[in-house]
Amino acid sequence: MKKNFFILMIIFTSTLAAQVVNIADGNNIIIANGATLDIAGLELTPNADYTIVGENSVSKESEVITINGNESMSKSYTAGVSLEGYTGTVLYNYSDEDMNGVSHTASLYVMNSNSEWVQYEDEDTEDYTITYAFTDPLEMKAVTAGVQAGLSTIETQIPGIRIYPNPSSSTVNIDYSEDLEITLFNILGQQILKTNSKTINISNLEKGTYFLITEDENNSITNFKLIKK
């Protein structure tokens, strides 16, 4: 018990000072069922005792990664050796400075040991956190957050809302009786503007496809594909 306590002290001191977790060869880290290990904003809460075997490390990088042609948030985590067999919750915290033009509808992306990025859609409704609960054993080589695949698909979650004209060369109107927060993104998932106005001037934008996201006071979100002609 004393040995485990000493190892955990090393982890959290390292996380605060260098934002890197280092596990010496021959030592293990045990995260108890229901406990949370916070690695500089990446929180692991297993649903069974989980052991990270040394020699290993987890580092935090201010790095933008291109996944499926889209840039990620400017924060990622990488394990020296893949963390395998993990079940439980992974929570990714981010700030405005991390977003890199990615919206709050971002997904969690996890790299497996084959260097393949797999998307997991956010299961919480809060901004600045992305959460996913894994019930099947997971392997994690790296973790980041990025544009939700299929963002171009219209998902009408707010009944009665519509945008017009679409396509448009100058202005776009949002028809809805209640207040909305409106965000516009380009095809790369980079934020172009955010406003509460229901009339948007897009005359200065290049021709092409954009994504318009509306959010009401109940945090209900609707995605539209907008064409600038």
Q: Are 103 and 130 in contact (CB under 8 A)?
A: no
Query: pLDDT, tens digit, for every residue of 177-186?
Result: 899 999 998 8
Two structure tokens written together for 197 = 């106005």
User: Going along the chain, which residue ranges are E strands?
Assistant: 20-23, 28-31, 37-39, 42-46, 50-53, 56-61, 66-67, 70-71, 76-93, 107-111, 117-120, 129-146, 162-164, 171-175, 181-185, 191-195, 199-201, 208-215, 221-228
The kind and range of the H/E element at 3 are: helix 2-18
Topology of domain 162-228, CATH = Immunoglobulin-like (2.60.40)
Topology of domain 2-146, CATH = Chondroitinase Ac; Chain A, domain 3 (2.60.220)
- Cα–Cα distance, 13 to 18 (Å, whole number): 8
Q: Domain residues of the chain, as ranges?
A: 2-146, 162-228
Position 155 scores a pLDDT of 41
Query: pLDDT, tens digit, for every residue of 131-176?
Result: 999 999 999 999 999 987 654 333 445 777 888 888 889 999 999 9
Q: Is the pLDDT of residue 191 over 90?
A: no
Q: Are 189 and 158 in contact (CB under 8 A)?
A: no
Q: What is the pTM of this model?
A: 0.61
Place of tokens 């985590």: 77
